[in-house]
């Protein structure tokens, strides 16, 4: 099982219909599973993975 590294949590809010009914809704973070050079599997957000690739600290 991949270890969750990021501290991002789902955003919460309401979906609104045309009749202005409110329904609870959650936007979940975009978590990606990658394998590091030492063979460990971690789950980080897509934005964090992009930053890691830019600084070339990971070759995923």
Which stretch of DSSP H or E encloses residue 31? strand 31-35
* pLDDT less than 50: residues of the chain: none
Q: Cα 14 vs. chain centroid, distance in angstroms?
A: 20
* pLDDT of amino acid 27: 95
The answer to whether residue 47 sits within a structural domain is yes
The dihedral region occupied by 39, where left means phi > 0, alpha psi between -120 and 50, and beta the remainder, is left
Tell me, what CATH number does 24's domain have?
2.30.170.40
* pLDDT of amino acid 57: 61
**Domain total of the chain:** 1
Domain residue limits at 32: 3-54
Q: What is the pTM of this model?
A: 0.69
* pLDDT of amino acid 10: 94
The answer to whether residue 60 sits within a structural domain is no
């Amino acid at each position: 099982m991949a270890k969750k590294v990021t501290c991002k949590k789902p955003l919460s809010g309401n979906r609104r219909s045309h009749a202005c009914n409110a329904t609870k809704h959650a936007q979940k973070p975009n978590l990606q599973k990658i394998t590091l050079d030492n063979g460990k599997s971690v789950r980080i957000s897509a934005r964090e993975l992009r930053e890691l690739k830019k600084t070339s600290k990971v070759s995923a």
